[in-house]
Amino acid sequence: MRIGIIGAGSVGGTLGRRWAALGHQVTFGIRHASEGASAVKGDGPLPAGSSVALPLEAVTNAEVVVLATPWAAVPAVLEGIAPALDGKPLLDATNPLVAGFAIDPALTGDDERGRRTISAAERIQSLVPRARVVKVFNTTGFDNMRDPIYPAGPLTMFYAGDDPAAKAVARALAADLGFDPVDAGPLSRARELEHLALLWISLAFGGMGRDIGFRLERR
């Protein structure tokens, strides 16, 4: 697939390098064209099949877009690429964190069932209503995106969204990396996935280290 990645840091760099190595055509959207390939995190030169471009160009040429910037940058990033997102799957890997690894309080509000936290993914969907947002690649560390295989088997990659075709793209790209993809339901479930990410972070940085991940078992 032609994949545009906005945010070429730990997550975007890792995902894009792996997908390119697997044969996908990856364009990393970077802020400063003069930085070239050095703007993409990761070891070694960019794999064949990948390149860098300004964000709007990376999205315009893509069949699917991955959003992997810090949460604070999301509104400005989306404003810059919105016209090219119409109808495209937008895979949201962000976690809406503020200082101290807390969920952005701006996402907390009231609804008929009492206080709830609106997910970053739903906020993103409201900012780009014509994109087909799927929450995915947010519940584990970037190291696990490089290698999701553990002794007991592959880690689970949960995804949530409202558009079946966009979810199928997310599922296929997660499976390509070696994850066990699991449909977590509609986009309203993204809130749970963002809180699951917070659990991963609190365990990893609370002493267990980054070589941990979630696996859903079935019987």
The residues binding ligand NAP (CB under 6 A) are: 6-12, 31, 39, 41, 55, 68-71, 73, 76-77, 93-95, 97, 138, 141-142
User: Shortest gap between Cβ of 36 and ligand NAP (angstroms)?
Assistant: 12
- Measured from the CB atom, the residue of 43 and 111 that comes closer to ligand NAP is 43
User: Shortest gap between Cβ of 115 and ligand NAP (angstroms)?
Assistant: 23
User: Shortest gap between Cβ of 69 and ligand NAP (angstroms)?
Assistant: 4
User: Shortest gap between Cβ of 204 and ligand NAP (angstroms)?
Assistant: 9
- Measured from the CB atom, the residue of 3 and 77 that comes closer to ligand NAP is 77
- Measured from the CB atom, the residue of 113 and 179 that comes closer to ligand NAP is 179
User: Shortest gap between Cβ of 137 and ligand NAP (angstroms)?
Assistant: 6
- Measured from the CB atom, the residue of 73 and 212 that comes closer to ligand NAP is 73
CA distance 23 to 5: 15
- Measured from the CB atom, the residue of 44 and 164 that comes closer to ligand NAP is 44
